Structure formats: structure tokens, C-alpha cells
Structure 1
Amino acid sequence: MKTTLTPAETEEKYQALLEGMSDGFAILETVQDSSGAIVDLIFREYNSAFKTETGLTPDGGSIREVLPYLDGMGVSDFGSTLETGETSSFRARLANTGERRVFRRFRLGGPGSTHIGLILERRTNRGPGSGLFEEGDALLHAMTEQSDLGVAFFDRNQKFTYANSAYHRMYGYKPGDMVGKRVEDLTVPEDWRRKRILLDRTLARGEPFSIDKRHTRPDGKLVWVRSSVGSQRDEHGNITGGAITSIDVTDLKIAELTRKDIEDRYKLLFNSIDHGFCVIEMVFGPQDEPLDYRFLEVNTSFEAQTGLKNAVGRTAREMLPELEDYWFEIYGRIAKTGIPERFEMPSEEMGAYYEVYAFRIGLAEAQQVGILFSNVIERVEAQNILRETEARFRQFGEASSDFMWIRNANTLEVEYLNPAFEIVHDISPPDLLADPGLGPWLEMIVPEDRQAIEESFESVREGKSVECVYCLVRRTDGQLRWVKSRHFPLIDSQGSVQRIGGIGRDITEERQTSNRLEVLVTELQHRTRNLLAVINAVAGRTIRRSKSLDEFREKFTARLDALERVNALLSRLGEGDRISFDLLLETELGSLGLDEFNPDASPNVVFKGPRGVRLRSGSVQTFALALHELMTNAVKYGALSRPEGELSVTWSVETEDNYSRLQVKWEERGAPREETCPEGTGYGRELIERALPYQLGAETSYDLQPDGLRCTIVMPISIS
């Protein structure tokens, strides 16, 4: 079981191992000039054996203090050790004794290290089979075991002679299992050919190399390993094998592949999108004001969106001298603040209207901005046309006396109401829009009409137009109002019904007028039938009582004139109006030219009774003929035919149990009829005594007294 040591424990273990070695060991740090060449090596650490063997205490001293004679080599030769990582041996004389001793040097750490390990072997010769890490190499072994860097050695047959724990973990083997395996065994076939060539050069000429290669571990996992390989030489300079330092770069390779994949996808997207895209570099003035920007990168759609060719490397002012200042201000702000902005803006210079998303790229110091944009001038123009159309529609809707509404075809929620809707329905658009569903509107409609309305919406959803007539109850005054409307589909560009429109009007007055017309037509038909019946009767009686055609013509014409007068009065009546008795009486007097007998001007004539007594329209024609006969006979034969004659017409109204009757008394004096009434006259009497009771339900009396006529008529009249 591996136990993790504290830093103090590790240091203690390291110092104990260092002091327990019989070989001298020291760590040197290279000193380099401005060109990177090694000009000296300084002792940083050494063990007791090194001090004993050299007889020196080289704390912080130069290597020249210990080894003034490097047998023709200079300190610069240590650079190959740092560069290749190879372990090599050399001979040099000690400063205190002049004795030539064998030293081995090796790089401490990976590439880029500036430290070298130096081993001074004991004077006692090492026998065969002593092992690579016996005594003097124990420190190197200990250091490699503590490192996360994979370290291994191999012989000229390319078989591993040693690998540290990190190297075993990296390749997925248990400690010790790699010794005896070939280097080829740790490389996938696709990478081995290249590595074999490099490895052969190392073993033949000592050429170091670095390589990234793949290996499939025993557990099946593929790992990437970055290895630095150098040769190993004996004390005679002969190549005996090689050394490998390795790190696991699997995560790095995956990241590189991922980054490359992202870059590839970015480039594909970059050049595939219809939107224009560019990267610009802002140009600021001495007062840090945005002056211009330079195009660093553009995609293939850039030219189509802007009309600009060969833009990379050129500035906006160069290509568009009259470009609006706000473009520079916006992009300059984004470059400074790093806050992305999405906006739409027109450009008169470019003849376009752009939808833009701009964002800073990298640090503020780079002053670069990425711009994703699209020329949406067609959409903007279409929106402007749509807004103008909507404005005209709203003006039309607000001016229209017909009400209009629009509802969503799916939810049936109302989306638009014009002012006329409130006038007809007695509910304001804001109130209805607060609860836009169909329910509040249906509640206003009388129950018996609701189903038809709901069915109309289903028909419109199917693309049909439907005309509806329904009755609603106004909320504030409770009035019943009749409404006629047409419901129709509003179809989108795909032919689907998206909305339902409605336009309608209040037809209550039209309906009432229509009803009145129906009543009037019915009344006209009734009166016409009555009139024809009256004319037929008058004609029959007149012809029977006429002695000649001329007499018939005279009497029949007079009686037709009487009917014409009363029908003229009827035609001028308003709805619900009636002809009054006094008006009928005055009209008959005027038709006979008897204005001089006006009761206001003649003391012999008395008309007395309440004004405005309304007669039933169905009885007026017959009653008017009766008055005409009484008036005509009075003028020809009665009280109005002589100066001393007197006429009194009085009337009153009797009401009992909501039943009203008009009582008319016609009295003549000073005109005996026997003397003046010719033979054959009697139509008026027959009309009064027979026609009025039969047709009008009247009670009549007709009495010729010696001094004049006494006639009484009692007939039903209208209550209101």
C-alpha cells in the first residue's frame, strides 16, 4: 500500500538516502549568457561522500574549483546533457589531488531543466553484474521513483532494463512487468515505423529525438505519450542503450483534437451561414475616440451582405468614406466595455438595414470585435408596409359605424375591437380585452341564439364565411338589440386559418321598420279590400237610386271624393296615429265649400265636443261616407239650404270597463224635409241605419221630424 508522505517526511527521506550513498553526488545549476550558452555551473547541493572524495566544500562554488581540468572539455559540453537528456561518463582531474576520476552526469527533470546531477564513483572498481542502480545509482533510482515523470532505460536490443513506477502506470503495467519488454511492444503499429527509424539513429549515432505516439494499454484504453529519447554511453563513449522520459499527453491530445474539431466546425459554420460575419480591429484616436476599423477576417457571405470586395486588411473609411459615425461609436464601445450588443440600424451609405449582433473578441487590448449581421431591409420595408396597412385599417375601423372584431382562431380570444363595438354591445374594448375569451360575449347573447354563434365559429375554422343574426341584451339599460354580422376566416401565407374576423351592425331599427312595413302592408291590404267593398256597395246603391247616368255620375263622383279625402288623411298618419272625429268633420265641411258655416263665424251652426277623439282606422271610410251623406243632404235639402235653418252637431265619449264609444248627435231645425226632399233619396239613411251597425258595430237612429232631421250614432273608438 503506498503512503503519501508530507513534504517534511519526503525531505528527511531524501537526505537520509543522499547521505547513505557511498558514491559522491552533487547537483549543479547552469549559468547561461544572453545567447543561452552555458558559461559556468554552480554547486547547489552535495553529499558527504562527494566532500570526502574531493576534499572540498564547494558551497555555491563554480565547477572549476573542483574540476579545473576537464580533459579538453569545457562547461559548454554540459549543454548536450541538458538538450538530449542522455546520461554520459567523463574523466576529469580533481583540484586538490590532481587525480583523474570517473564522473557521470545526467539531466535532472524534463526538457527545459537547468539542473544537472553529477556522480563521482568510488575508487573501488565495480564488478560485472553489479546492477544499474547499485550504490552510486541509488539516488537516481530514488529520484525517478518520486517523480511523476515516466523514466525508463533500454539496451541496444531495445529491451527495457528499468522503468520507474510512473512509467509503469502510464502504460498500464504492474511495477517490474515492463523489464525485458521491447520498445516496439509499447507502440501501436501505425506509429512504430516512424519511431523505429528514429530509434535506430539514436542507437547508431546517438541522435536524440522527441515523439508523440499512441499505445493501447492492457485494459484496452488508448493513451498518447510524449517521449524524449537519448542514448546512454559507457566510460569509453560507446553507446550501450538509451534512456526515455515520458509524460501522458492523452488529455492534451483530446483537447487538441477537440479544438481542431471545434475550429473545423467553426470554419464550416463561418463559411456556410447566410449571415455575414467579420472580425474587425478598432482604430482609436489620440483622445481615445473611435475613428475607424480594419477588417481582419470575413466569411463568404460578407460580400453578398455588404457588396464589399477584398475587404480583409482594409478599413471601413477607406471602402465607405461616408459611412455613418454611429457604427464606429457602437463598435468602439463594445471593444472597450466587452458588453455585447444586439441592434438594428440603417445605413444610407450602404443602402441597407442591418440586424447586428456584435461582441468583443479576446482582451480589451486587442480592440477586436466580432460582428454577425444580416441585411434585413426587405423585412423592414415589409414591416413598414404592414404598419401603414394596420394604421389604415385602424383608421377605417375607428371611423366605421359597423362594429369590427378579430379573434384568435384557436383560442377564440379577442385581439381587436373597434369603437363601434362598444356602441352596439354596451361594453368597452378594455373591459372585454381584460377577459378576452368567448364567454363574456356569449353571456350577452340571448340563450336561444348562442348555439348558432358557436357553430358559426366552427364553420369559419373550416374556411367558410357565415352570416349571423342574433339578439343580445345590453348590460346597462337591459335593451334588446338585434345584430347582423358576418364571420369570416383570416388566412396566413400557408393557407391556414389563423384568425377569425367579424363585421356587423345593429339592425334593431331596421327590424322594427320592417315589422312596421309588414303591419302597414297588411293594413293597406285590409283597407284596400274594405275600400273596394265600400266602393262596390256605393256604386251599387247609387246606380239603383239614380234615374240617369248623369245623376249617377254626379252622386258617385261625390261619394268617391269623400272616400278619397278620408284615404288622404289615412295616408298621412304616422305609426300608431289615428284620425280624430273633429278633423274628419272639418275636412268634410271644407270639401263642400261650407267655410261660411264655420261655427266660429255662423250662429246657426253649432259644433261642440272634445277634440282629438281617435277613430278606428278600419271604420273611418264608412263613417266618413255617413258624414258626407248627412252633410250633403243638409246642404241640399236640410238646415243649411235656407237662412233660417239651424244645425247642431255635438259629440262625447263614453268609457266603461276599458271600452270607449263615441256618441254623435246630429240635429237640424227650421228645415222640414217633406217639402224639399225629392223622391228617391235615401242612400244616406240606408248607410246609417244598416251599414254602420253591420260594419262598425254602431248603434244608430235616423228620425225625420217636421222641422228637421234628428240622427244619433254611437260607435266603438280606439282607447289610445
Structure 2
Amino acid sequence: MVHRLTWFEPQRGDELLREFFITALIDMSASLTLQDCQGKYICITTLPPRWFLPAGAVPTDETIFGPDIGARLAELKAGLSKAGERAELEIEPGDDTFFEFRCRLIEMSNGKLHLVTIVMDRTEDRRRERLLRALLREVSHRSKNLLAIIQSIASQTARYSGTLEMFLAKFRGRLHALSQSQDLITDSSWRGAYFRDLVQQQVDRYVQDNVDLVRATGENILLSPNASLHIGLALHELIVNAVSHGDFIARRKPIEVSCMRVEGEKGPEIVILWREPLGKADSEAEDALRTSRFGSTVLERVVPTSVNGSAVHTMEAGEVLYELRFPLEIED
């Protein structure tokens, strides 16, 4: 017997109920067939368009679904012998579609066994599963890259930090800059981050009350995820140096940072240029300033190497100049 409660008003009539159930099955992308214990089809509803019953043909698994699927269904159904037994079969016809057949043997009110088969179109579910797996692989890949970057930053920071306190201060700042850039990349669905957004992040953190003293010009290029992480790190390093050792705020002399696309010897390149004005200082003060600012492994090695580019970091003619040049990554 069918144990689950089904209730309806008898006076509504069979025609209304048929319309209701067929519409519901269509909305569910489901098909339903009913066979007696000898395998004779009694009812077929809303089959997918790919399967149909030829005119004048007697409905069987083979005439409806073809010889291959029909044989598999017949074998599956033959294994059911008692009421309540069920079996499932997954079918991939070969045209990027996917169907699930659910067969169940039930006992009707007259005591006879009948076979109910539900055919579910799972094509969209399967596509979503494939997309989710691809996304998980991408997350895993990017996580490994991010961990490698963090490991590199930690190693280089430790190498050039004289004390634990110095290491922690530098490492935390660099890690925070990395996380901010990662937020921009995530918000763009991993397409990357725009140059001016990367600049704005660092300006908002370190010179929030003097945002007009850092001017971003040139093209607002969408940088690749890898370039975004490392350019964000370079901008962090530059602005921390400017705030810690420079006098641009006191002198109200703006820093200019630009981004442009140029044609290099091997193809399109991106050039990022940082120009920071300096006040006049005697030779001893200038040497101290140079020592405190330069020798930055992050700016001169880590960042350019990570983007397959080159960097120039100098202090001359009353200004700090940092130029980073690297190939433009073309996203497919």
C-alpha cells in the first residue's frame, strides 16, 4: 500500500487532478511512468523531448528510450521483486545532458504490484557541480599561491629585521596590505584589482587626513590577481616609507603615482611610477635618509620578480623615484 498521506476533494474530478499533477511534474523537470507487474506501460507523463514514442508503436523501455538505455532499464527493473524496493540509474546520453531514473516497486490498493519510474533532468545540477568543483580547484590554487607569497614576505622580513619587534611591525603591515588587495580581488570575482583602488586603500590607511597629497594619474588598469597582490604590497612599502621618513605632509608637496600601458620589446607592458618630493637636507642627513629607505627587498626583489618585471629605486634630484615595469598579462 502507499503509506504517505494524499488528500483531495473527490468532487473536483479526475481531469482537474491530472492537469495539476502534470503541470507540477513539468515545473519539476520530472517525468513519471507507471507499469504493471508484467512490465506493460499504463501511464507516461511529460517525457523529455529527446525521448518519444513513435506513432503506432507499443510503449516499452526499448521503443521509448532506445536499445542501450532500454536494456539497462530492463536489467535494473528485473532486480526489483518486493514492494518498497527501489533502484536508481544515471544516464548521460552524450550531448552534455544528464538524467536520473528512479524506479520503485509499489503495492496498489488492489494488492497488485506496480512499477513507478521517475525520470529527473539533472543537467543543470551536474553543470553546477562541475562549476563548483572548478571553483574549489581555483580556490585551492590561489590559496597555495597566497601562502607562498606570505612565506616569502615572512622570510624576507625576518632576514632584514634586527629585532622581533621590528619584524612583527613590518610583517603585520605587509600582511594587512596583502589582505586588503585580496579583498579587492575577491570583490571582482577574481578578475583582479584596479590600480587606483590599490592606491586608495593605502592612502586611506596611512594618510587619511591628507588624501590630496597622493595623486594617482594615468590609466586605471585592471591588474591581474597576481599583479594586484604585489603592486598593493609595493604601494604599502612606498607610502610607509614616505610617512616614516619623508616630509611631504609637512611641506604639502604631493606624491605622484602613475600607471600607464606602453609597448615594450616583447609586447605590451605596464609601467608604475612613484615620484615623492624631498626637502633639502645636508649630506649626512641625506645619507641617513637613504639608508633608512633603501635596500628594500620587497620593492627591489620580491615585487619585480613576482610579476616577471624590473624595478628602479633611487633618490636623486630632490625626489624618491620608484619605477616598476612588467609585462601586461592578457586574461582569456
Q: Name the TM tier (shorter chain).
A: 0.7 to 0.9
- Answering whether residue 206 of structure 2 is matched by residue 592 of structure 1, we say yes
Amino acid at match of 2:20: Q
Letter aligned with residue 625 of structure 1: L
CA distance in 2, matches of 1:677, 1:551: 18
| Counterpart residue number, 2:197 | 583
Displacement of 1:462 in angstroms is 0.3
Q: Sort the Cα spacing of 1:497 and 1:712 in 2 relative to 1 into closer, same or farther, 3 A.
A: farther
What secondary structure is seen at the aligned counterpart in 1 of 2:223?
A: coil
In structure 2, what is the equivalent of residue 689 of structure 1? Answer: 300
- The separation in 2 between residues aligned to 1:640 and 1:518, in whole angstroms, is 50
State the alpha-carbon separation in 2 of the partners of residues 700 and 442 from structure 1: 66
Query: Residues 665 and 468 (structure 1 numbering): CA distance in 2 closer, same or farther, change over 3 Å?
Result: same
Q: CA deviation at 1:502?
A: 2.1
Answering whether residue 128 of structure 2 is matched by residue 516 of structure 1, we say no
One-letter amino acid of the counterpart of residue 538, structure 1: I
Q: Distance in 2 between the 1:680 and 1:491 partners?
A: 83
1:403 is matched with 30
Is the 1:662–1:714 contact (alpha carbons within 8 Å) kept by the matching residues of 2? yes
The offset of 1:700, in angstroms, is 2.2
The residue aligned with 1:646 is 254
Conserved 8 A contact 1:648-1:667:
yes
Equivalent residue, structure 2, for 1:552: 167
Shift of 1:412: 8.2
Q: In 2, distance between residues paired with 1:456 and 1:581?
A: 58
Q: Name which of 433, 444, 467 aligns with 2:89.
A: 467
Q: Of 149, 155, 174, which residue of structure 2 is paired with 1:540?
A: 155
**For residues 410-489 of structure 1, what are the structure 2 equivalents within 5 Å?**
415-418=43-46, 425=48, 432=52, 435=55, 451=68, 453-464=69-80, 465-471=87-93, 473=95, 480=96, 482-489=97-104
Specify the SS of the correspondent of 1:533.
helix
Indicate yes or no: 2:215 matched with 1:606.
Answer: yes
When residues 607 and 414 of structure 1 are mapped into structure 2, their CA distance, relative to the original with a 3 A threshold, is: farther
| Residues 527 and 499 of structure 1, relative CA distance in 2, 3 Å threshold | closer
Q: CA deviation at 1:500?
A: 5.4
Mapped to 2, the partners of 1:550 and 1:405 lie a distance apart of 71
Using the TM superposition, give the Cα deviation of residue 641 of structure 1 relative to its aligned residue in structure 2, in angstroms. Answer: 4.2
Alignment of 1:304-315 (within 5 A): none
Give SS of 2:251's match: coil
1:487 and 1:703 mapped to 2: Cα distance? 72
Instruction: Return the offset for 1:403.
Output: 0.9
CA separation of 1:577 and 1:539: change in aligned 2, threshold 3 A: closer
Aligned-partner Cα distance in 1 for 2:78–2:93:
25
Report the Cα distance in structure 2 between the residues aligned to 1:517 and 1:674, rounded to whole angstroms.
56
The CA distance in 1 between the partners of 2:14 and 2:79, in whole Å, is 23
Q: In the alignment, what sits opposite 1:664?
A: 272
Match of 2:286 in 1: 674
TM-aligned CA deviation for residue 501 of structure 1: 1.4
Deviation at 1:624, TM superposition (A): 1.8
Which residue of the partner structure matches residue 705 of structure 1?
316
Q: Which letter does structure 2 place at the counterpart of 1:686? A: T
Which amino acid in 2 is paired with 1:631? I
Q: For the Cα contact (< 8 Å) 1:461–1:497, is it kept in 2?
A: no
Distance 2:112 2:78 in 1: 9
What is the aligned partner in structure 1 of residue 244 from structure 2? 636
Deviation at 1:668, TM superposition (A): 2.2
Q: Which residue does 1:334 correspond to in 2?
A: none
TM-superposed CA distance for 1:628, in Å, is 0.9
Question: For the Cα contact (< 8 Å) 2:34–2:116, is it kept in 1?
Answer: yes
Are residue 627 (structure 1) and residue 249 (structure 2) matched? Answer: no
- Separation in 1 of the partners of 2:53 and 2:176? 65
For residue 262 of structure 1, what is the aligned residue in structure 2? none
Counterpart residue identity of residue 689, structure 1:
E
**Contiguous gaps of at least 5 residues in structure 1:** 1-383, 444-449, 474-479
1:591-643 alpha-carbon deviations (Å, 9 max, x no partner): 2243532xxxx3x54321223x2222234323321121112112222463442
Q: Does 1:719 align with 2:328?
A: no
Cα distance in 2 for residues equivalent to 1:553 and 1:584 = 23
Residues 594 and 676 of structure 1: CA distance in aligned 2, closer, same or farther (over 3 Å): farther
Secondary structure, aligned partner of 2:222: coil
The TM-score, its normalising length taken from structure 2, stands at 0.73
Shift in CA distance, 396/680, structure 1 to aligned 2, threshold 3 Å: same
Equivalent residue runs for 1:69-108 within 5 Å:
none
* Mapped contact 1:639–1:668 kept (Cα < 8 A): no
The 1:671–1:468 alpha-carbon spacing in structure 2 relative to 1, beyond 3 Å, is: farther
Rate the CA distance shift 1:434–1:691 in 2: closer, same or farther, 3 A. Answer: same
More helix by share: 2
Give the share of equivalent positions with the same residue, in percent: 19
* Alignment check: 8 A CA contact 1:646 1:668 kept: yes
Q: Give the letter for the 1:699 counterpart.
A: S
Structure 1 residues 625 and 486, CA gap change in structure 2 (3 angstroms): same
1:564 aligns with 2:160: no
Which has more radius of gyration?
A: 1
- Classify the secondary structure of the residue corresponding to 2:98: strand
Letter in 1 for 2:193: I
Q: In the superposition, relative to structure 1, how do residues 657 and 633 fare at CA in structure 2: closer, same or farther (>3 Å)?
A: closer
Note the 1:201-212 alignment, pairs <5 A: none
The one-letter code of the counterpart of 1:696 is V
C-alpha change, 1:484 and 1:542, in structure 2 (3 Å) is same
Letter in 2 for 1:395: F
Q: Is the Cα–Cα contact under 8 Å of residues 29 and 120 in structure 2 kept in the other structure? A: yes
Pairwise CA distance, 1:711: 1.8
Deviation at 1:561, TM superposition (A): 1.2
**How many residues are aligned here?**
305
Please give the secondary structure, in 2, of the residue aligned with 1:677. helix
**So what's the TM-score if we normalise by structure 1?**
0.37
Change (3 A) 1:610 1:511: farther
Paired residues of 1:463 and 1:497 also in contact (CA < 8 A):
no
Distance 1:657 1:468 in 2: 55
Query: Secondary structure of the equivalent of 1:717?
Result: coil
Unpaired segments of 5 or more residues in structure 2?
1-8, 81-86
Residue pair 2:278, 2:320 contacting (<8 A) in 1 also: no
Once residues 65 and 43 of structure 2 are traced to their aligned partners in structure 1, the CA distance between those partners, rounded to angstroms, is: 16
Kept in 2, the 8 Å contact 1:456–1:466? The answer is no
- Alignment correspondent of 2:121: 505
On the 8 A contact 2:304/2:324 being kept in 1, the answer is no
- Deviation per CA, 1:446-503: give whole Å up to 9, x if none: xxxx84x334312233044222142565xxxxxx4x3341231556779997655123
Q: With CA pairs under 8 Å and 6+ residues apart, which has the higher RCO, 1 or 2?
A: 2
Contact 1:648 1:666 in 2 (8 A): yes
